[in-house]
Amino acid sequence: MARRARPLGPAVAAGAAAAALVLALALVPLGAVAWRAEAGAGLGPADWAAVRFTLWQAFLSAALSCLLAVPVARALARRNFAGRGVLITLLGAPFILPVIVAVLGLLAVYGRSGLISDALGLLGLGPIDIYGLTGVVLAHVFFNLPLATRLVLQGWLAIPSERFRLAASLGFAPSDVARVLERPMLRATLPGAFLVIFLICMTSFAVALTLGGGPRATTVELAIYQAFRFEFDLGRAALLALVQFALCAAAAVLAFAVALPTGMGAGLDRPVARWDATGRALRLTDAAWLAFAALFLILPLGMVVAKGLPGMAGLPASVFAAAARSVLVALGSAALTLALALPLALAAVRLGGAGGAALQAAGTLSIATSPLVIGTGLFILLFPVADPVALALPVTALVNAAMSLPFALRALVPAVAEAEAGFGRLADSLGVAGRSRLRLVLLPRLRRPAGFALGLSAALSMGDLGVIALFADPSQATLPLQLYRLMAAYRMEDAAGAALLLLILSLALFWVFDRGGRAHAAA
């Protein structure tokens, strides 16, 4: 109601501009590729097989991630134990790992010469074989279970503790609590979590190929790669990219229609006091789930560390130069992410309703674009007017920023809504408007989610090979590119060291921003 009394003003204009920019970044390069194309071949049966496989593996990966996230998040929500905070931070690590590093870490555990196969070998059993759909889904769950857990845990902690107190005073059993309090929360949280993970898995390529075991595991992104690289059929590449984008957009519309999860930027550092889950069996169940999550997620990370340590000492100077460049790109990308996400979030909250949802959807869809097509399209657009090589790092930062925008929005939008709901009227009545409102009212209330968004965006940018490979100048490699170069030069031990450096830097960037947002965060 109060909304109407206030003019929509520059906030909405800025948000609309940010949304337009993000949409343009997703669609204009695609258009450029299509425009540059000569008459290409249409989609064949192999392409539709790729579409089916892509949808199926994304569905399985998202469903399994969400399903496993529920008991893990529940255990985290209702148990307090030493190391809980560390566990939650480490849970964030797989999500920001470069694909090749994570895959090698996973195979060090689940591979034919991994820990499990070695253990089986001691018992006289043969090695396990995860290649195929199993491997693809395993890797995707490894990447995304932490994200799902974080989203669901946030939902749990958003249930006011008074409700649990009330439930306890009414003598609710755990099953009653689940029915009355937890299921409605999950019903509101899971569709959004499912969507984000589904979209991430839709554009997966290297994971699907490396662990998929063969051309069965061809995803749309690989088909795009083939059209572009093998056939140089830009029309087909654009068509496939459009199909991929349309599928993601359809999924997004569907999930937005069901529900949206609320912010994942808020504090996760306090368990909810519970009176219903004190039974011994429940405690054991929770402990088992936590042990499962910790082992599943941290063991492969441990292997990355173990394999990387020997190579760390002798890393060539160029790796550190690349690391410094990557940190710069990550910082630029993080700043850009916030510069895009903040006006989008403000405008989405100010507009509310369908308009607000449309703005958020625009900001989320950047995840659905093919990096190869974006990179190629940008190249087609930039080449006539500028030196693409000179723009390599800024363009990389911009594309990385667009890719992490959905996560930043998910953290910021609910926080903006909460700040406006709590203090909007006071600010109105005092005439605090425009930039003063941003500076004095909103930004201080957004420190936590903004810190989280900056950290996540910086970390994601750090690990992303991104479009740099299409624009590269020999002297401008980022750390992931340098990692690949080490591998291409047979220097596998150095590459493992560089991977560890990448892991450390990504986590450190995330940690610094995330903590920075929490320190001094007002009550």
Partner 1 sequence: MRFPMIAAAALAAGPAPAQTPVLTVYTYDSFVTEWGPGPQVEAAFEDVCGCDLRFLAMGDGAALLARLQLEGARTEADIVMGLDTNLTARAADTGLFARHGRDDVKLDLPVGWDDDMFLPYDWGYFAFVYDKTKLATPPGSFQELIAAPEDLKIIIQDPRSSTPGLGLLLWVQAAYGERAGEIWQGLAPHVLTVTKGWSEAYGLFVEGEADMVLSYTTSPAYHLIAEGDDTKAAAPFAEGHYMQIEVAGRIASSDQPELAERFLDFMLTDAFQSVIPTTNWMYPAVTPEGGLPQGFETLISPDEALIYAAGEAAKVRDAALETWRAALAR
Partner 2 sequence: MLRLEGLMLQQGRFRLIADFGVEEGHIVALLGPSGAGKSTLLDAIAGFLPPARGRVLWRGQDLGPLAPGARPVSMLFQDNNLFPHLSVEQNVGLGLRPDLRLGADDRAAVAAALDRVGLAGFETRKPAALSGGQRSRVALARMLLRGRPLVLLDEPFAALGPALKREMLTLVAELAGETRATVLMVTHDPADARAVADQAVLVADGRAEAPRPTEAIFADPPPALRAYLG
Site residues, partner 2 (CB under 8 A): 1-2, 4-7, 422-423, 425-426, 428-433, 435-436, 439-441, 444-445, 522-523
CA atoms within 13 A on the CB side of 64: 18
| Comparison of 378 and 417: residue with beta carbon closer to partner 1 | 378
Residue from the set 469, 504, 512, 521 that interacts with partner 1 by CB under 8 A: 469
Note every long-range contact of 43-46, with CB atoms under 8 Å and residues 24 or more positions apart, other chains counting.
Answer: 43/236, 43/239, 43/240, 43/243, 46/218, 46/223
Applying CB under 8 A, the span of 254-262, 435-443, 471-479, 514-522 interacting with partner 1 comes to: 471-479
| Comparison of 58 and 211: residue with beta carbon closer to partner 1 | 211
| Comparison of 224 and 454: residue with beta carbon closer to partner 1 | 224
Q: Using CA atoms, how far apart are residues 105 and 155, in angstroms rounded to an integer?
A: 30
Q: Using CA atoms, how far apart are residues 187 and 182, in angstroms rounded to an integer?
A: 9
Q: Using CA atoms, how far apart are residues 213 and 165, in angstroms rounded to an integer?
A: 52
- Binds 144, which of partner 2, partner 1, none (CB < 5 to 8 A, cut-off by type)? none
DSSP string, 385-451: TS-TTTTHHHHHHHHHHHHHHHHHHHHHHHHHHHHHHHHHHHHHHTT--HHHIIIIIIHHHTHHHHH
- What is the smallest separation between the CB atom of 520 and partner 2, expressed in angstroms? 9
- What is the smallest separation between the CB atom of 219 and partner 1, expressed in angstroms? 11
Binding residues among 374-403 for partner 1 as defined by CB under 8 A: 376, 379-380, 383-384, 389
Residue from the set 470, 504, 508, 512 that interacts with partner 1 by CB under 8 A: 470
Q: Using CA atoms, how far apart are residues 454 and 448, in angstroms rounded to an integer?
A: 10
Q: Using CA atoms, how far apart are residues 112 and 59, in angstroms rounded to an integer?
A: 27
HEC per residue, 181-199 = HHHHHHHHHHHHHHHHHHH
Q: Using CA atoms, how far apart are residues 211 and 203, in angstroms rounded to an integer?
A: 15
- Binds 210, which of partner 2, partner 1, none (CB < 5 to 8 A, cut-off by type)? partner 1
- Binds 428, which of partner 2, partner 1, none (CB < 5 to 8 A, cut-off by type)? partner 2
Applying CB under 8 A, the span of 62-70, 157-165, 202-210, 358-366 interacting with partner 1 comes to: 202-210
- Cα distances from 431 to residues 259, 272, 343, 355, 439, in angstroms, run 34, 38, 20, 26, 14
Nearest to 519 by CA among 434, 427, 423, 451: 451
CA-CA-CA-CA dihedral for 22, 24, 25, 30, to nearest 10: 140
Phi, then psi, of 339 in degrees rounded to 5: -65, -30
| Comparison of 353 and 490: residue with beta carbon closer to partner 1 | 490
| Comparison of 193 and 416: residue with beta carbon closer to partner 2 | 416
Q: Using CA atoms, how far apart are residues 399 and 378, in angstroms rounded to an integer?
A: 10
Q: Using CA atoms, how far apart are residues 374 and 377, in angstroms rounded to an integer?
A: 5
Binding residues among 204-263 for partner 1 as defined by CB under 8 A: 205-206, 209-216, 222, 225-226, 228-230, 232
- What is the smallest separation between the CB atom of 4 and partner 2, expressed in angstroms? 6
| Close Cβ partners of 119 (under 8 Å, ≥ 6 residues apart) | none
Residue from the set 59, 131, 320, 511 that interacts with partner 1 by CB under 8 A: 131
Structure tokens at 175: 């099953």
- Binds 171, which of partner 1, partner 2, none (CB < 5 to 8 A, cut-off by type)? none
- What is the smallest separation between the CB atom of 438 and partner 2, expressed in angstroms? 11
| Comparison of 415 and 465: residue with beta carbon closer to partner 1 | 465
Binding residues among 280-309 for partner 1 as defined by CB under 8 A: none
| Comparison of 280 and 520: residue with beta carbon closer to partner 2 | 520
Binding residues among 30-89 for partner 1 as defined by CB under 8 A: 36, 46, 49
Structure tokens at 506: 């990504």
H or E element at residue 330: helix 317-351
For 230, counting Cβ atoms within 10 Å of its Cβ (0-12 exposed, 13-18 middle, 19+ buried), the class is exposed
| Comparison of 143 and 194: residue with beta carbon closer to partner 1 | 143
| Comparison of 44 and 434: residue with beta carbon closer to partner 2 | 434
x/- string (CB under 8 A) for partner 1, residues 87-116? -------------x--xx--xx--xxx---
- What is the smallest separation between the CB atom of 38 and partner 1, expressed in angstroms? 11
Binding residues among 483-522 for partner 1 as defined by CB under 8 A: 484-492, 495
| Comparison of 39 and 488: residue with beta carbon closer to partner 1 | 488
- What is the smallest separation between the CB atom of 352 and partner 2, expressed in angstroms? 16
Contacts with partner 1 by CB under 8 A lie at 36, 46, 49, 100, 103-104, 107-108, 111-113, 126, 129, 131, 135, 205-206, 209-216, 222, 225-226, 228-230, 232, 316, 318, 376, 379-380, 383-384, 389, 469-470, 472-474, 481, 484-492, 495
